[in-house]
Amino acid sequence: MAGLGQQQVPGDATVGRSAGLRSGFASLRPLLASLTAGVICGLLVVIFSISDAALLFNGELGGYVAVGIGLCLFSSAVLAAVIACSSSHPGMVGLSQEVTVVTLAVIAASMHTAMEGLRSEREMLVTIVVAIGLATAFTGLCLLALGVFRLGRFIRFIPYPVIGGFLAGMGWLIVQGAFGVILGTIPTLENLGMLVEPANVAKWAPATLFACILAAIAQRGGSALSLPVAIAVALALFHGLAWALDLPLSQLQAQGWLFDLPMQGTVWPPFAGNPLGSIDWGVIWAEAPKVMAMVVVTAASVLLASSGVELSLRRDIDLDRELRAAGLANFFAGSGGGAAGFQGLGLSLLGHKLGGDTRLVGVVVAAVCVATLFFGSALLAYLPVPLFGGLLLWIGISLLYDWLVEASFKMPRREYLIILLILFVIGWVGFLEGVLVGLISAVVLFTVDYSRVEIVKYATTGDNFHSSVERAEEERQVLVSQGRQILILRLQGYVFFGTAHRLQKLVRSRMQDRSEPRLRFLLLDCRSLTGLDSSAVLSFIKIGQRAERNWATVVVTNLPPHIDRLLTEGGFGAEGGLPVRSFPEFDRALEWCEERLLEAASGGQAAPQDDSIEGLLTRALGYPSAAATMRSYLEKMELDPKAVLIHQGEVSSDLFFVECGRVSVQIETPEGISVRLRTMGKGTIVGEIAFYLDQCRSASVVADTDAVVWRLSRDSLARLKAEAPDIASAFHEHLVRMLAARVTQTTGLIRSLAD
């Protein structure tokens, strides 16, 4: 039976070979997809580099366009290779970019004007090329420093609609660039009529059809080879049709169906020998301000492009790593005189859609650029222009659809309008202007929205919110009846011109409200404030001035040091002649306000009442004879300051009446730090909760001053209940009323905070 188990069924070998072939083919798919994506993106990079070269050397420098092609191709090769190896996204494609080339073109033109007639043609060319290389290398070092010091996180503060507008604008520019590739000229309002010319329709119509086919394939989620196969079929159809119509390559190039590039043979390096002796360093140094501007533009573009890839692919991108990658790439590119560049959003997305999410894509792009450098335009002679135009149209229209159609259903209307505004400005004015307008719009929108955020976290009054000082019943009644003379505001967030005025208006409204008692104390709890601007300082001063006119006092607590310094330097405080007091703790500030109210209620003197233990017991039990009886069950204790009356964690067996002095309830943290919970004065009872629940003490009680307390033990209370049950019942009733008053106060506080 064991032998039968090892016998091989005749069909098993065939099935095994088929499974192995399928497995092998599946393992080759990522490689084939990456190679295809790399070749296609590489050919597009070559085309864009040649376009950048025409921009770099234009006008009077147009005769050096071949040198510019070499510089841009070399730069794109270095950028593609280095970014591919060091980017946080394996499929990232780097290349020279029009955004940076524009600044380099301005530098080159300015230098040519400064040297014209003073230097030979070779000296001018050498100086310009060296300046381009130095600017690129310096930009790379700055980007590298930004990445090393992890400053890429600041892009996270750019609002989401600005990133969306940037992506929509990039989609529009890619669509424009696609028509520029197809027709040889970017369509504008002035030449829009050329789109309907039959010769041009014959070019962009099949490109648009090809883009729609690619979009349909991607939408249906075909295999990784579906798109490369579609491209191969399109190539075969084009050349098959050209062969059937007997159209030679030269004619197709002349009519714009195939690429015909203005370069022959090797175009790099730009010159031979040692150029250092021919350089005009003074002219180069004069362009330093433009180079600094290029650094800023390039850094912002790197972060925006990387964030665009992150949003489009729904993957986390390490922005600091992208800055370092672009920095290294530009530094090495600058060493060969290359033009600056960075991560390409459109090509990175194209590579992803073609299934190329490996670092091989960028390496192949670099290889295509190097091959073009040394073998000229032969590699592009057989590539149809509409094919590449269709690829670009596909990417551009996809971005426009995502951020103009889908975003309209997902985003608030105001944020969506920012996207439209950025797209409009990019399309009609320029890329940088569009991003700048978007940032300004987002800041304005944020300011308006933030000004609607309540600066007052909660507002309450002194009749509901009391300090932690436990007072006698008479004093509690005074605070309840007159506590509305204290207005408590807890502030939060950042106070600026949009919110400071609302705070000022709130205080003015309360002070002018004749249905309320006169406001004596405005207590501002600033523990949750994060900052304020100069207009907010002025508003605080106006609040202090209004308080002075109304004979009120502004009490501020928990002021962060930097805010305290700003207010003091601005003139908000007692030094500025304003009725302002500052306390480090909120509870101490509220206690101070309560003491002033109690003093005013008693005419500035203590209330004329009996504060002895007999007087306290009389007010608690209702009649003197009961107080005298209960007095005999109590034990008098005299405490020095810092004497411990109750120890946290000990067994509860007694409670205490405070006759005079003050004690504090505090807890010990695991770190050994004492935290005050409440302060108890004359006429209060301490330790009743643990006493009645028969639990261990949850906190300690320590004397703050010399104090006299009276102890009632559990045994004494049991004797009182047995010998004088009426008095014991009256005492229990007093405790119930006291605890009920606390609950009522807490309920009122919660209600006031919830309103």
272 in Cβ contact with 70 (< 8 Å) = no
Maximum CA pair distance of the chain?
129
Least confident window among 157-166, 339-348, 475-484, 499-508: 157-166
Least confident window among 9-23, 608-622, 673-687: 9-23
For 208-233, what is the mean pLDDT? 74
If you compute the radius of gyration of the chain from its CA atoms, what whole number of angstroms results?
41
> What DSSP state is assigned to residue 720?
H
329 in Cβ contact with 88 (< 8 Å) = no
* CATH class of the domain comprising 456-601: alpha beta
| Per-residue tokens: 28 | 């080759």
For 98-110, what is the mean pLDDT? 79
- Kindly tell me if the per-residue pLDDT of 523 is higher than 50: yes
- Kindly tell me if the per-residue pLDDT of 708 is higher than 60: yes
For 1-6, what is the mean pLDDT? 42
Architecture of domain 613-754: Sandwich (2.60)
| Per-residue tokens: 447 | 């300011």
Closest CA to 555 of 583, 518, 527, 577: 583
| Per-residue tokens: 92 | 């990232």
Sheet holding 521-532, edge to edge: 456-461, 486-495, 521-532, 553-557, 580-583
Which of 496 and 632 is assigned the larger pLDDT? 632
Tens-digit pLDDT profile for residues 181-202: 788 777 777 777 888 888 888 8
For 314-323, what is the mean pLDDT? 88
- C-alpha 302/C-alpha 290 separation (Å) is 18
pLDDT for 668 equals 81
Confidence category of residue 6, pLDDT binned at 50, 70, 90: very low
305-309, 396-400, 471-475, 484-488: range with highest mean pLDDT: 484-488
Question: Which phi and psi angles does 468 have, rounded to 5°?
Answer: -80, 5
For 449-458, what is the mean pLDDT? 77
Q: Which amino acid is at 208?
A: T
| DSSP SS3 for 415 | helix
- C-alpha 197/C-alpha 682 separation (Å) is 99
390 in Cβ contact with 214 (< 8 Å) = yes
For 113-130, what is the mean pLDDT? 84
pLDDT for 355 equals 82
- Residue 708 is inside which H or E element, if any? strand 707-713
- Kindly tell me if the per-residue pLDDT of 332 is higher than 80: yes
| Per-residue tokens: 9 | 């069924």
Residue 640: CB atoms within 10 A of its CB come to 10
- Kindly tell me if the per-residue pLDDT of 25 is higher than 50: no
164 in Cβ contact with 414 (< 8 Å) = no
Distance set, CA 193 to CA 197, 201, 205, 321, 368 (Å)? 7, 11, 15, 45, 36
Residue length, the chain?
A: 755
Whole-number mean pLDDT of the chain? 81
Where do the domains of the chain lie? 28-445, 456-601, 613-754
Which of 594 and 301 is assigned the larger pLDDT? 594
pLDDT for 270 equals 64
Long-range contacts from 402-406, C-beta under 8 angstroms, 24+ separation: 402/167, 402/171, 402/312, 403/164, 403/165, 403/167, 403/168, 403/171, 404/168
Least confident window among 5-9, 114-118, 341-345, 388-392: 5-9
pLDDT for 463 equals 86
Q: CB-based contacts of 587: which residues, under 8 Å, 6+ apart?
A: 467, 468, 676
Q: What percent of the chain has pLDDT over 70?
A: 86
Tens-digit pLDDT profile for residues 364-413: 999 999 888 877 656 566 778 787 778 778 878 887 888 888 888 888 88
Least confident window among 339-348, 482-491, 511-520, 595-604: 595-604
- Kindly tell me if the per-residue pLDDT of 521 is higher than 80: yes
Closest CA to 643 of 661, 659, 668: 661
For 641-663, what is the mean pLDDT? 88
- C-alpha 170/C-alpha 698 separation (Å) is 65
Confidence category of residue 5, pLDDT binned at 50, 70, 90: very low
pLDDT for 378 equals 60
For 102-122, what is the mean pLDDT? 81
- C-alpha 702/C-alpha 709 separation (Å) is 12
| Per-residue tokens: 23 | 């497995």
- Kindly tell me if the per-residue pLDDT of 4 is higher than 50: no
216-230, 615-629, 711-725, 730-744: range with highest mean pLDDT: 711-725
| Per-residue tokens: 206 | 């099949």
- C-alpha 347/C-alpha 37 separation (Å) is 9
- Conformation bin of residue 358: beta by default, left when phi > 0, alpha when psi is -120 to 50: beta
| 700 DSSP β-pair partners | 666
For 214-239, what is the mean pLDDT? 73
- C-alpha 207/C-alpha 177 separation (Å) is 13
Distance of CA 422 to the CA centre of its chain: 20
Confidence category of residue 342, pLDDT binned at 50, 70, 90: very high
pLDDT for 19 equals 53
pLDDT for 524 equals 94
SS3 sequence, 669-707? Answer: CCCCCEEEEEEECCCCEECHHHHHHCCECCCEEEECCCE
> What DSSP state is assigned to residue 665?
E
Distance set, CA 495 to CA 175, 290, 498, 504, 617 (Å)? 44, 38, 8, 11, 51
Q: Which amino acid is at 13?
A: A
Pairing between β-strand 486-495 and β-strand 456-461 as defined by DSSP bridges:
antiparallel
94 in Cβ contact with 341 (< 8 Å) = yes
- C-alpha 76/C-alpha 42 separation (Å) is 9
pLDDT for 547 equals 92
Question: Which phi and psi angles does 676 have, rounded to 5°?
Answer: -75, 130
